[in-house]
Structure 1
Amino acid sequence: MTSGFWKRNQQTLAPALFLAPGLLFFAFYVLFPILQSFQISLYEWDGLSPAQPVGLQNYRQLFDDPAFYTSLWNNLLWLVLYLLAIPAGLAIALFLNQTVTGIRIYKSLFFFPFVVSQVVVGLVFTWFYDPTFGLLNTLLGAVGMDPVNILGDPSKVTYGIIAAGLWPQTAYCMILYLTGLNSVDPEQVEAGRLDGAKGLRMLWHVILPQLRPATFICFVVTIIGALRSFDLISIMTQGGPFGSSRVLAFYMFEVALSEYGFRMGYGAAIAVVLFGIMMIYIAGFLWKMYRDERGA
């Protein structure tokens, strides 16, 4: 009986059985913590004593918290400027896709930031920005300009950290686009040439439509990377100076697990806001891609 049922439904059950372990891990390690964050955000809890329900009080406090608005504004800066990694990665991928002398050396140099730890990236850029012996001020002094303290200036520090993050993120987007360029249909490229397309017209009308899957992955990964930016800020500034480089992920860590007294409920509320922003951006991009696919 069981053998007959399996034979009749093998094509349906086999994929489900292969997907089941991954779905279970996803539910346990992703969906369950998300739902638990929503629940904890409705409580006042220090992680040890019994949790006290406070309703939406944690969310109300966010609206009166200047540090939250600073973190939110910095996250918006990260979202906008971090997206520069996508066109930069595409440009480098187009260059590396050519047949030129020494292309393997160029590929190795551009690939290098991708394999470097974020901690190493943070340390390297901290030394690079150092106002006393950093390479940046050495170069500025060579052209007669005054030294600048990027990480010590509240108006510049966020831009300096974003620039550090763009280095490995651009390399990641470059790898995705290089993979996508290997699957570009040469017949479509040849047809475009016969129609007189070249340069930017060829790129816009022939190459980029075939790179939509790579663009989608680049977009989603870049947005997630911008919103969960934590390690670079922790290594380079610890949220300073005066809290001016905080983002929501780092502020969540501070209020939940650091000097603010283990306010798990308030930290969970920040996490819920961060999750909502992420879903808005990703859902909007998915909807745009769906409309473009239907139009095509």
Structure 2
Amino acid sequence: MWKRHQRKLAPWLFLAPGVMMFISYVIVPIFQSIWVSFYDWDGMGPKTWIGLQNYRDLFQDEYFYIALKNNVIWLTLYLLSVPAGLFVALFLNQNVAGIRLYKSLFFFPFVISQVVVGLIFAWFYDPTYGLMVKVFSAFGLGPIGILSDERYVTYGIILAGLWPQTAYCMILFLTGLSGVSTEQIEAGRLDNARGWKMLWYIILPQLRPATFIAVVVTVIGALRSFDLISIMSDGGPYGSSRTLAFYMFEQAFSEYGFRMGYGAAIAVVLFAIMLVYIAVVVTRMYRDERGR
């Protein structure tokens, strides 16, 4: 039987360990979170079935809408890392002396921990001794408390997140540029395609797979933003920099009462937003591929 069906069975045998881990650590916890969201539970004591009450409370919670609004801001501004990574990749895609060193320097922010990135920018924003104060004072401006001002804190944290995310998108586009057809580029030059025309009509269509991955990963990173917020502002001031992921953690695991069911409801809403967005992007990409 093995000899007759070896070609069919061998791939499944190689896939089996990864599939089992994916089911155990991704699929099963998703359904567990959905199930827990229908209970009032502190994580240790007995569960009490309350049906959709967590969701009713959630949609009447003003802090939920603040976190949702911040997620929209994260999603909008975080996508700037995709074109920024593309232009950095185009700049680094040259055969000149020392280009490997420059590539390493640009990729460095993605290698270091997000905790380190958060600490670096927290020191940078420090209104007393930070480098930003020195820059502002050189132009005759006073200090601004970025992380202590409700108007600026979310944007300051997003700026910190853009630094490593741009480096990641840069690597994706550099990989894509290595597979760009030189024949198409030469043909474009013969047709007098230069600059933006070359980029828009010849290079970008060949970078579609890299662009798709960069957009999906960036969107997921924006929606699940947590670590930079925890390090730089801890959700403050007055909860103004919370996102859904951070608010979920606060409700489920912090001193706010260990509301595991309520935190699970937030997680389900966040998962639904991710699922809808990724489904739309994948469907659009599939239609574009079929139309080509």
SS in 2 for 1:214: helix
- State whether structure 2 residue 17 is matched by structure 1 residue 21: yes
Q: Which of the residues 67, 73, 94 maps onto 2:69?
A: 73
Aligned to 1:150: 146
CA distance in 2, matches of 1:84, 1:280: 21
Instruction: Give unmatched runs, 5+ long, in structure 1.
Output: none
- State whether structure 2 residue 111 is matched by structure 1 residue 106: no
CA distance in 1, matches of 2:62, 2:201: 46
Aligned to 2:245: 249
Q: Which of the residues 275, 279, 284 maps onto 2:280?
A: 284
- State whether structure 2 residue 30 is matched by structure 1 residue 34: yes
SS in 1 for 2:45: coil
Instruction: Note the alpha carbon deviations across 1:131-162, whole angstroms, 9 max, x for none.
Output: 00111111011011121111011011000000
- State whether structure 2 residue 176 is matched by structure 1 residue 180: yes
- State whether structure 2 residue 133 is matched by structure 1 residue 124: no
| 1:292 CA displacement | 1.1
Residues 228-239 of structure 1: pairs in structure 2 closer than 5 A: 228-239=224-235
**Total equivalences in the alignment:** 292
| 1:195 CA displacement | 2.0
- State whether structure 2 residue 33 is matched by structure 1 residue 11: no
Aligned to 2:200: 204
- State whether structure 2 residue 218 is matched by structure 1 residue 222: yes
| 1:101 CA displacement | 3.9
Aligned to 1:192: 188
Aligned to 2:255: 259
CA distance in 2, matches of 1:28, 1:139: 51
Name the amino acid aligned to 1:118: Q
CA distance in 2, matches of 1:50, 1:98: 62
Percent identity for Structure 1 against Structure 2:
69
CA distance in 1, matches of 2:16, 2:181: 35
| 1:220 CA displacement | 1.2
CA distance in 2, matches of 1:269, 1:38: 7
CA distance in 2, matches of 1:141, 1:157: 20
CA distance in 1, matches of 2:150, 2:96: 44
CA distance in 2, matches of 1:180, 1:26: 28
Name the amino acid aligned to 2:165: Q
Residues 38-53 of structure 1: pairs in structure 2 closer than 5 A: 38-53=34-49
SS in 2 for 1:8: coil
CA distance in 2, matches of 1:185, 1:27: 39
CA distance in 2, matches of 1:40, 1:102: 55
Instruction: Note the alpha carbon deviations across 1:159-189, whole angstroms, 9 max, x for none.
Output: 0000000000000000111111111111121
| 1:193 CA displacement | 1.6
Q: Provide the aligned C-alpha RMSD in A.
A: 0.9
CA distance in 1, matches of 2:95, 2:196: 19
| 1:108 CA displacement | 2.0
CA distance in 2, matches of 1:77, 1:281: 15
Q: Which of the residues 141, 162, 166 maps onto 1:166?
A: 162
SS in 1 for 2:3: helix
Name the amino acid aligned to 1:145: L
Aligned to 2:51: 55
Aligned to 2:269: 273
Instruction: Give unmatched runs, 5+ long, in structure 2.
Output: none
CA distance in 1, matches of 2:144, 2:100: 36
Aligned to 1:97: 93
| 1:31 CA displacement | 0.3
| 1:99 CA displacement | 2.5
SS in 2 for 1:154: coil
Report which stretch shifted further, 235-244 or 185-194.
185-194
SS in 1 for 2:119: helix
Name the amino acid aligned to 1:26: F
- Give runs of ≥4 in structure 1 deviating > 6 Å: none
Aligned to 2:80: 84
